[in-house]
Amino acid sequence: MIKRKLRLITLSALLLGNAATTQADNLYVVNDRTYGAYGNTITKLATNGTATLFASGFYAGGLAFDQSGNLYVGTTVGNVPSGGTIIKFAPDGTRTVFASGLNYPVGLAFDRSGNLWVGDQYDRTLTKIAPDGTPTLFPTGLVLPYGLAIDPSGNLYLSDLAGGTITKFAPDGTPTVFASGLYIPTGLAFDRSGNLYAGSWDRGTITKFTPDGTPTLFASGVSGNHAGLAFDRNGILYLAQQGNNTIKTFDAAGNDLGVFVSTDVPGWLAFDYFLPGETGMSITSQPKRQVRYWGQDVSFSVAVTNATPPVAYRWRKDSAPLLDATNATLLLTNLQLANAGSYDVVVTDAMTTLTSLPATLTVNPAGVAIALYAGVTIDGVPNRTYGIQSTTDLNNTNSWVAVANVTLSGPKQIWYDSQPATLPQRFYRVVPGPISIP
């Protein structure tokens, strides 16, 4: 290892933009508007995807939060040698230059001892900056360093775009090849079980590596030139897709949860609370979307791991707390149409508060099927009474007329219209009953 000459200085108000922030589960993204190695804005994304400009006026590389909530940003000045800096944003928005004399600081990560590790793409080096600012240089031997992540034991992993490898560095800087033969590995991220995830630039795959290096295909068919990766508190993986101008999400099983937000050429990602190697509580099973009939029962459940007692649950409907809904499982009986909505649960242990993903409940009056007869087949709850309405004009919402009440003797029953076939064509619908028959 080599002691590196870096300039550690304090200089405020270097960047444009009002960048005050607090730790509130926000996702920060570098927007690479020049579509080169570095972006020129940083956007803050709230949990609902609302975007605000965090800072601009520079070329930004990697992002990392320390344990005190300060954001560190790697910046560069084109191809100017030693023009790279590390900018520090305090939680109150104060901006200072933390380190200078770098070149292309593309990868940033903190270990649990408070050391900032910096992957320099131009120098092909790895630099450890101690909390007191003392830098130590580790030559990497890599061709084009890019993604950087730290495991719970303090080992550092650095991807090589051109070399197709991921190198593991022990806390003392000793390197070993962790994976090889990869196709342009980009961003790296660890889940709370110590598995490493790696994107690929234009292969459309995300690879999962167990702690012993065993690879499995986590997701495929994911187009869009992968860049940064980051996990949220709930174990959801976020992927920046530069070619598609989107950030996609995946659950722990690799299922595509869809686009979290569209944003200009997203690059590096960082959440404002996640600590390297954090092994605290996480949600391992999310509530699932449900469709039920009027009068049926339904349950939602959540599962967590690594919780520190006591653990408390608070279920919500449409963001409003539900009374007496304080268990891992929420049971709703005798559903009414008003029960339809979005359900989630807030889980709190001695250290952390997590909110599950929302699960939608759809409540239909009944299941309805038609065939080549004048009537309907009703799927519903036995002994429940349903109303049958008819109309001859679907374009007139006020033309529905009550025809009959049907009490189901079983979960499925056919109702026939006894009116003469010579009457005009009629359409039917089923509503909660009983209804008034004229």
Q: Which tokens in the block code for residue 3?
A: 């002691």
143 and 113 within one domain: yes
Residue 293 forms part of a structural domain:
yes
Domain boundary among 335, 363, 391: 363
221 and 192 within one domain: yes
53 and 152 within one domain: yes
- Domain around 33: 2-271
Backbone φ and ψ for 387, nearest 5 degrees, come out as -95, 140
412 and 353 within one domain: no
232 and 89 within one domain: yes
370 and 358 within one domain: no
Query: Left, alpha or beta for 411 (phi > 0: left; psi -120 to 50: alpha)?
Result: alpha
265 and 287 within one domain: no
Residue 276 forms part of a structural domain:
no
Residue 438 forms part of a structural domain:
no
264 and 181 within one domain: yes
In the block, tokens 């499982």 appear at 329
Residue 194 forms part of a structural domain:
yes
Strand ranges (E), 329-437: 329-332, 341-348, 353-355, 359-364, 367-369, 375-379, 385-391, 401-407, 412-416, 427-432
Residue 203 forms part of a structural domain:
yes
Domain boundary among 214, 249, 271: 271
Question: What is the tally of structural domains in the chain?
Answer: 3
Instruction: Read off the CATH number of the domain in which 411 is found.
Output: 2.60.40
Residue 50 forms part of a structural domain:
yes
Strand ranges (E), 38-102: 39-45, 51-65, 71-76, 84-89, 95-102
Q: How many CA atoms lie within 13 A of 114 on its CB side?
A: 9
Residue 103 forms part of a structural domain:
yes
Provide CB contacts within 8 A for 197, sequence distance 6+. 188, 189, 190, 191, 206, 207, 208, 209, 218, 229, 237
356 and 212 within one domain: no
Q: Kindly calculate the radius of gyration of the chain based on its CA atoms and give it in whole angstroms.
A: 28
Instruction: Read off the CATH number of the domain in which 205 is found.
Output: 2.120.10.30
Are the beta carbons of 77 and 122 closer than 8 angstroms? no
Instruction: Read off the CATH number of the domain in which 321 is found.
Output: 2.60.40.10
| CA end-to-end span of the chain | 91
What is the Cα–Cα distance from 437 to 272, expressed in whole angstroms?
A: 60
Q: DSSP state, 322?
A: P
Domain boundary among 317, 346, 363: 363
229 and 288 within one domain: no
Mean pLDDT per 10-residue segment, the chain (438 residues): 41 35 70 58 89 84 85 76 80 85 86 85 85 82 86 85 90 88 91 88 90 92 88 89 91 91 89 60 87 94 86 95 95 94 90 83 85 80 91 90 91 83 81 90
62 and 174 within one domain: yes
The pairing of strands 237-241 and 226-231 is antiparallel
Give the pTM: 0.61
Sign of CA dihedral 99, 102, 104, 110: negative
353 and 387 within one domain: no
Provide CB contacts within 8 A for 189, sequence distance 6+. 149, 196, 197, 229, 230, 231, 237
Residue 139 forms part of a structural domain:
yes
